[in-house]
Structure 1
Protein backbone atom coordinates (compact mmCIF):
# COMPACT_ATOMS: atom_id res chain seq x y z
CA UNK A 1 0.00 0.00 0.00
CA UNK A 2 2.80 2.44 0.82
CA UNK A 3 4.32 1.77 -2.59
CA UNK A 4 1.09 2.99 -4.23
CA UNK A 5 1.29 6.18 -2.18
CA UNK A 6 4.83 6.80 -3.39
CA UNK A 7 3.80 6.31 -7.00
CA UNK A 8 0.82 8.61 -6.52
CA UNK A 9 2.96 11.30 -4.88
CA UNK A 10 5.55 11.00 -7.62
CA UNK A 11 2.85 11.43 -10.27
CA UNK A 12 1.58 14.56 -8.52
CA UNK A 13 5.08 16.04 -8.46
CA UNK A 14 5.60 15.34 -12.16
CA UNK A 15 2.32 16.97 -13.17
CA UNK A 16 3.02 19.98 -10.93
CA UNK A 17 6.45 20.52 -12.47
CA UNK A 18 4.99 20.14 -15.95
CA UNK A 19 2.58 22.99 -15.28
CA UNK A 20 5.33 25.16 -13.83
CA UNK A 21 7.61 24.70 -16.84
CA UNK A 22 4.96 25.88 -19.29
CA UNK A 23 5.90 29.52 -18.86
CA UNK A 24 8.14 31.68 -21.01
CA UNK A 25 10.49 32.45 -18.14
CA UNK A 26 14.07 32.04 -19.37
CA UNK A 27 13.11 31.32 -22.99
CA UNK A 28 14.89 34.39 -24.40
CA UNK A 29 18.15 33.53 -22.64
CA UNK A 30 17.84 29.89 -23.70
CA UNK A 31 17.42 30.99 -27.34
CA UNK A 32 20.46 33.27 -27.01
CA UNK A 33 22.65 30.45 -25.66
CA UNK A 34 21.32 27.77 -28.06
CA UNK A 35 21.90 29.99 -31.09
CA UNK A 36 25.01 31.81 -29.85
CA UNK A 37 26.70 30.64 -33.06
CA UNK A 38 23.83 31.92 -35.25
CA UNK A 39 22.69 35.34 -33.98
CA UNK A 40 20.25 35.72 -36.89
CA UNK A 41 18.20 32.94 -35.29
CA UNK A 42 17.96 34.99 -32.10
CA UNK A 43 16.42 37.80 -34.16
CA UNK A 44 14.09 35.38 -35.95
CA UNK A 45 12.87 33.93 -32.63
CA UNK A 46 12.06 37.43 -31.43
CA UNK A 47 10.28 38.33 -34.67
CA UNK A 48 8.30 35.10 -34.84
CA UNK A 49 7.10 34.87 -31.23
CA UNK A 50 8.77 37.54 -29.10
CA UNK A 51 10.69 34.57 -27.64
CA UNK A 52 7.56 32.80 -26.41
CA UNK A 53 6.82 29.07 -26.54
CA UNK A 54 3.61 29.22 -24.53
CA UNK A 55 0.46 31.33 -24.39
CA UNK A 56 -0.58 32.90 -21.07
CA UNK A 57 -2.76 29.86 -20.29
CA UNK A 58 0.23 27.51 -20.63
CA UNK A 59 -0.80 26.03 -23.97
CA UNK A 60 1.62 26.00 -26.89
CA UNK A 61 1.77 29.41 -28.57
CA UNK A 62 0.04 29.32 -31.95
CA UNK A 63 0.30 31.74 -34.84
CA UNK A 64 -2.29 34.45 -35.36
CA UNK A 65 -2.26 34.17 -39.17
CA UNK A 66 -1.81 30.37 -39.20
CA UNK A 67 -2.80 28.43 -36.08
CA UNK A 68 -0.62 25.50 -37.17
CA UNK A 69 2.50 27.61 -36.58
CA UNK A 70 3.73 26.70 -33.09
CA UNK A 71 6.17 27.90 -30.49
CA UNK A 72 9.25 30.07 -30.43
CA UNK A 73 10.07 29.62 -34.11
CA UNK A 74 6.45 29.21 -35.26
CA UNK A 75 7.23 25.82 -36.80
CA UNK A 76 4.32 24.82 -39.03
CA UNK A 77 2.71 21.52 -38.03
CA UNK A 78 1.37 20.84 -41.52
CA UNK A 79 4.84 20.77 -43.02
CA UNK A 80 7.03 19.72 -40.09
CA UNK A 81 5.12 17.76 -37.44
CA UNK A 82 5.60 14.40 -39.18
CA UNK A 83 9.33 14.89 -39.76
CA UNK A 84 9.91 16.26 -36.27
CA UNK A 85 8.17 13.24 -34.73
CA UNK A 86 10.27 10.86 -36.88
CA UNK A 87 13.36 12.62 -35.52
CA UNK A 88 12.06 12.21 -31.95
CA UNK A 89 11.61 15.97 -31.53
CA UNK A 90 8.55 17.51 -29.86
CA UNK A 91 8.13 20.97 -31.41
CA UNK A 92 5.53 21.78 -28.73
CA UNK A 93 8.29 22.05 -26.08
CA UNK A 94 10.96 24.72 -25.71
CA UNK A 95 13.85 22.30 -26.27
CA UNK A 96 12.12 20.56 -29.17
CA UNK A 97 11.20 23.81 -30.92
CA UNK A 98 14.81 24.98 -30.61
CA UNK A 99 16.18 21.65 -31.84
CA UNK A 100 13.89 21.51 -34.86
CA UNK A 101 14.60 25.16 -35.69
CA UNK A 102 18.31 24.26 -35.65
CA UNK A 103 17.62 21.40 -38.05
CA UNK A 104 15.71 23.71 -40.40
CA UNK A 105 18.39 26.40 -40.23
CA UNK A 106 21.21 23.96 -40.93
CA UNK A 107 19.37 22.42 -43.88
CA UNK A 108 17.59 25.49 -45.35
CA UNK A 109 19.15 28.59 -43.83
CA UNK A 110 16.66 31.34 -43.00
CA UNK A 111 14.24 30.45 -45.82
CA UNK A 112 11.63 28.78 -43.55
CA UNK A 113 11.14 32.15 -41.83
CA UNK A 114 10.98 34.28 -44.99
CA UNK A 115 7.49 35.53 -44.10
CA UNK A 116 8.94 37.40 -41.10
CA UNK A 117 11.95 38.73 -43.06
CA UNK A 118 10.65 42.34 -42.91
CA UNK A 119 11.30 42.13 -39.15
CA UNK A 120 14.75 40.47 -39.17
CA UNK A 121 16.05 41.10 -42.69
CA UNK A 122 18.29 43.99 -41.66
CA UNK A 123 20.27 41.49 -39.59
CA UNK A 124 20.93 39.01 -42.40
CA UNK A 125 24.66 39.71 -42.17
CA UNK A 126 24.46 37.73 -38.91
CA UNK A 127 23.46 34.60 -40.82
CA UNK A 128 26.07 31.93 -41.44
CA UNK A 129 24.13 30.44 -44.37
Structure 2
Protein backbone atom coordinates (compact mmCIF):
# COMPACT_ATOMS: atom_id res chain seq x y z
CA UNK A 1 0.00 0.00 0.00
CA UNK A 2 2.95 2.31 0.57
CA UNK A 3 3.81 2.37 -3.13
CA UNK A 4 0.19 3.19 -3.97
CA UNK A 5 0.50 6.23 -1.70
CA UNK A 6 3.49 7.87 -3.37
CA UNK A 7 2.25 11.29 -4.39
CA UNK A 8 2.95 14.75 -3.05
CA UNK A 9 1.10 16.36 -1.50
CA UNK A 10 -0.53 13.28 0.02
CA UNK A 11 -4.29 13.46 -0.65
CA UNK A 12 -5.32 11.34 2.34
CA UNK A 13 -5.87 7.81 3.66
CA UNK A 14 -8.41 7.03 0.92
CA UNK A 15 -5.85 7.48 -1.88
CA UNK A 16 -3.92 4.14 -1.78
CA UNK A 17 -7.14 2.20 -1.31
CA UNK A 18 -8.69 3.84 -4.38
CA UNK A 19 -5.52 3.11 -6.34
CA UNK A 20 -5.81 -0.54 -5.30
CA UNK A 21 -9.47 -0.55 -6.40
CA UNK A 22 -8.43 0.85 -9.80
CA UNK A 23 -5.68 -1.71 -10.48
CA UNK A 24 -7.37 -4.80 -8.96
CA UNK A 25 -9.20 -5.67 -12.23
CA UNK A 26 -5.82 -5.74 -14.01
CA UNK A 27 -4.47 -8.31 -11.56
CA UNK A 28 -7.56 -10.52 -11.92
CA UNK A 29 -7.53 -10.21 -15.72
CA UNK A 30 -3.85 -11.18 -15.92
CA UNK A 31 -4.04 -14.04 -13.41
CA UNK A 32 -7.61 -15.09 -12.59
CA UNK A 33 -6.51 -17.02 -9.47
CA UNK A 34 -4.10 -14.30 -8.34
CA UNK A 35 -2.76 -14.46 -4.81
CA UNK A 36 -1.68 -11.10 -3.46
CA UNK A 37 -0.01 -10.16 -0.19
CA UNK A 38 -0.64 -6.58 0.89
CA UNK A 39 1.54 -5.61 3.86
CA UNK A 40 -0.27 -3.01 5.92
CA UNK A 41 -1.60 -2.21 9.36
CA UNK A 42 -5.37 -1.98 9.58
CA UNK A 43 -6.43 1.01 11.64
CA UNK A 44 -9.79 -0.52 12.53
CA UNK A 45 -12.55 -2.84 11.37
CA UNK A 46 -13.96 -0.12 9.09
CA UNK A 47 -10.69 -0.05 7.16
CA UNK A 48 -10.90 -3.84 6.70
CA UNK A 49 -14.33 -3.36 5.13
CA UNK A 50 -13.00 -0.63 2.82
CA UNK A 51 -10.18 -2.92 1.63
CA UNK A 52 -12.72 -5.69 1.09
CA UNK A 53 -14.76 -3.31 -1.10
CA UNK A 54 -11.64 -2.33 -3.07
CA UNK A 55 -11.03 -6.01 -3.95
CA UNK A 56 -14.35 -7.31 -5.32
CA UNK A 57 -14.42 -11.08 -5.61
CA UNK A 58 -11.26 -11.53 -3.53
CA UNK A 59 -11.02 -13.87 -0.57
CA UNK A 60 -9.42 -11.59 2.00
CA UNK A 61 -7.39 -13.30 4.71
CA UNK A 62 -5.77 -11.16 7.36
CA UNK A 63 -2.60 -12.38 9.02
CA UNK A 64 -1.28 -10.47 11.99
CA UNK A 65 2.47 -10.82 12.28
CA UNK A 66 3.72 -10.24 15.78
CA UNK A 67 6.72 -10.44 18.06
CA UNK A 68 7.47 -9.33 21.60
CA UNK A 69 7.07 -5.56 21.96
CA UNK A 70 10.78 -5.00 22.70
CA UNK A 71 11.71 -6.87 19.51
CA UNK A 72 9.21 -4.85 17.44
CA UNK A 73 10.60 -1.61 18.82
CA UNK A 74 14.16 -2.71 18.04
CA UNK A 75 13.14 -3.64 14.49
CA UNK A 76 11.65 -0.21 13.77
CA UNK A 77 14.62 1.50 15.43
CA UNK A 78 17.06 -0.46 13.25
CA UNK A 79 15.29 0.25 9.97
CA UNK A 80 14.43 3.94 10.27
CA UNK A 81 16.87 6.54 8.93
CA UNK A 82 16.34 9.08 11.74
CA UNK A 83 15.86 8.94 15.51
CA UNK A 84 12.67 10.98 15.11
CA UNK A 85 11.06 8.45 12.74
CA UNK A 86 12.17 5.55 14.92
CA UNK A 87 10.71 7.19 18.04
CA UNK A 88 7.43 7.81 16.23
CA UNK A 89 7.18 4.16 15.16
CA UNK A 90 8.11 2.89 18.62
CA UNK A 91 5.15 4.92 19.88
CA UNK A 92 2.91 3.30 17.24
CA UNK A 93 3.98 -0.14 18.49
CA UNK A 94 2.56 0.83 21.88
CA UNK A 95 -0.61 2.27 20.34
CA UNK A 96 -1.13 -0.89 18.28
CA UNK A 97 -0.75 -3.18 21.28
CA UNK A 98 -3.26 -1.19 23.35
CA UNK A 99 -6.00 -1.92 20.79
CA UNK A 100 -8.72 -4.41 21.66
CA UNK A 101 -9.90 -5.35 18.16
CA UNK A 102 -7.12 -7.69 16.98
CA UNK A 103 -9.20 -10.85 17.42
CA UNK A 104 -12.07 -9.38 15.37
CA UNK A 105 -9.81 -8.25 12.51
CA UNK A 106 -7.32 -11.06 11.97
CA UNK A 107 -7.98 -14.54 10.66
CA UNK A 108 -4.73 -15.88 12.08
CA UNK A 109 -1.52 -14.73 13.74
CA UNK A 110 2.10 -15.62 13.07
CA UNK A 111 4.77 -14.97 15.69
CA UNK A 112 7.89 -13.83 13.84
CA UNK A 113 10.43 -14.04 16.66
CA UNK A 114 12.62 -15.98 17.11
CA UNK A 115 11.51 -17.53 13.79
CA UNK A 116 13.44 -16.79 10.64
CA UNK A 117 11.83 -14.84 7.80
CA UNK A 118 11.62 -18.11 5.85
CA UNK A 119 9.90 -19.89 8.73
CA UNK A 120 7.41 -17.04 9.10
CA UNK A 121 6.64 -16.99 5.38
CA UNK A 122 6.18 -20.77 5.36
CA UNK A 123 3.73 -20.53 8.25
CA UNK A 124 1.77 -17.76 6.51
CA UNK A 125 1.61 -19.77 3.28
CA UNK A 126 0.54 -22.85 5.22
CA UNK A 127 -2.20 -20.94 7.07
CA UNK A 128 -3.54 -19.47 3.83
CA UNK A 129 -3.43 -22.81 2.04
CA UNK A 130 -0.99 -21.44 -0.55
CA UNK A 131 1.72 -24.07 -0.07
CA UNK A 132 1.94 -26.50 -2.98
CA UNK A 133 0.26 -29.82 -2.38
CA UNK A 134 2.73 -32.70 -2.16
CA UNK A 135 2.22 -35.30 -4.90
TM-score (norm 1): 0.28
Whose helix proportion is higher, 1 or 2? 1
